[in-house]
Amino acid sequence: MPLRIAFFGLPLAALLLAKDGHSIELCAICRKDALGARRARRVFGERVLVRPKVTDRALADRVERLAPDLVVSWFWTTRLPMRLVEAARLGGIGVHPSLLPRHRGPDPTTWAILSGDAVTGVSVHRIAEEYDTGAILDQEELVIDPRWTGWDLARALDRPSLRALRRTCQRFSRGETIAEITQDEDLVTHAPALGEDEHAIRWSWPTDRVLRHIRALAPTPGAFTEIAGVLVTVLEARKAPRFPDALEPGEGYAEGGHAVIRTGDGAVILVRGEIEGAPVEAEALARLFLAPEPLLG
């Protein structure tokens, strides 16, 4: 039988679950400008709530009166109180863009690239008291293209995330018993949001780490550095085939219309970026090294 669902998150998933035949009894949207928000308002009408405060008693009372079969979270941005989750006959499920228990936390795609992971994926899990700790119901793997930025990876995970969510809801609707796999705490890694200072490139790092850092943070918030007193956000770089051995990490020069910067064990070529927030290509970045002051690494 189709499920009666109380939904929290980005409306695209709610619309697809409705297309699968489920009844969306409540559609709480986390962003008013989210893709599908306008259509959700037309389809679900007064059942749509935009950024409700999930700790409000009135919302909990409403969900309890609805007595849904399942609470579903798809990229809801705050913790759902267990009172809401427990109002549903089947409890609550969420989807996390990593292979839990790896990369628990708000920024798993960034950390997958920072960590040099070759494979990541999505996990459908039980909503528990603590973020990302509930039992795993389904997972789907994805090989990470070494050219992807953090944004590219996040987009690539959307389809498997929706696919796994829909698959799990269909299994619940058929009355299947779904194996619930407790997360192994010995395998846990964390993916906290990086602070502003942590976006800075440390030129003493090995080249591979520098390149991962740039890719992980592109296009926003972006990995940044300073060249000749100018703030530069580096959006794309590649390994340099050669460089003067006399350079120290963080020192650079212009060659052939490109900026080359020494790292801890090699050098990188800056391909694309922003200067004081304005998009620029390689030649504009190279011109910064014609200034008299060296890069401070």
pLDDT tens digits, 15-53: 999 999 999 999 999 998 999 999 999 999 999 999 999
Distances (CA, A) of 108 to 21, 29, 36, 150: 31, 22, 24, 9
Q: What pLDDT is attached to residue 292? A: 52
Read off the pLDDT of each residue in 7-15 and give the average, rounded to a whole number. 98
- Of 104, 102, 99, 67, the closest CA to residue 86 belongs to 67
The SS3 assignment for 1 reads: coil
Beta bridge partners of 74: 9
Residue 100 pLDDT exceeds 90: yes
The β-bridge relationship of strands 230-239 and 278-281 is unpaired
Cα–Cα distance for residue pair 238/271, rounded to 1 Å? 7
pLDDT over 80 (residue 98): yes
Say yes or no to pLDDT of 138 above 50.
yes
Over residues 174-193, the pLDDT tens digits come to: 999 999 999 999 999 999 99
CA-CA-CA-CA torsion sign (192, 190, 150, 208): positive
pTM of the model: 0.93
Answer yes or no: is pLDDT of 293 > 90: no
User: Residue 294: pLDDT above 50?
Assistant: no
Helix (H, G, I), strand (E, B) or coil at 155: helix
pLDDT at 290 over 90: no
Q: What is the CA radius of gyration of the chain?
A: 23
- The neighbour count for residue 46, using CB atoms within 10 Å, is 6
Q: Which residues contact 245 (CB under 8 A, 6 or more apart)?
A: none
Task: Output phi, psi for 60, to 5 deg.
Answer: -60, -40
Position 291 pLDDT exceeds 90: no
With bands split at pLDDT 50, 70 and 90, how would you rate the model's confidence at 159?
Answer: very high
pLDDT at 204: 98
Q: Which ranges of 149-239 does DSSP label H, i.e. alpha helix? A: 150-173, 207-217
For residue 296, is pLDDT > 50? Answer: no
Can you tell me the mean pLDDT for 241-246? 92
- Can you list the alpha helix ranges (DSSP code H) found in the chain? 11-19, 37-44, 57-66, 82-86, 108-114, 150-173, 207-217, 282-287
**Cα–Cα distances in Å, from 199 out to 165, 209, 258?**
32, 13, 23
pLDDT tens digit string along 65-91? 999 999 999 999 999 999 999 999 999
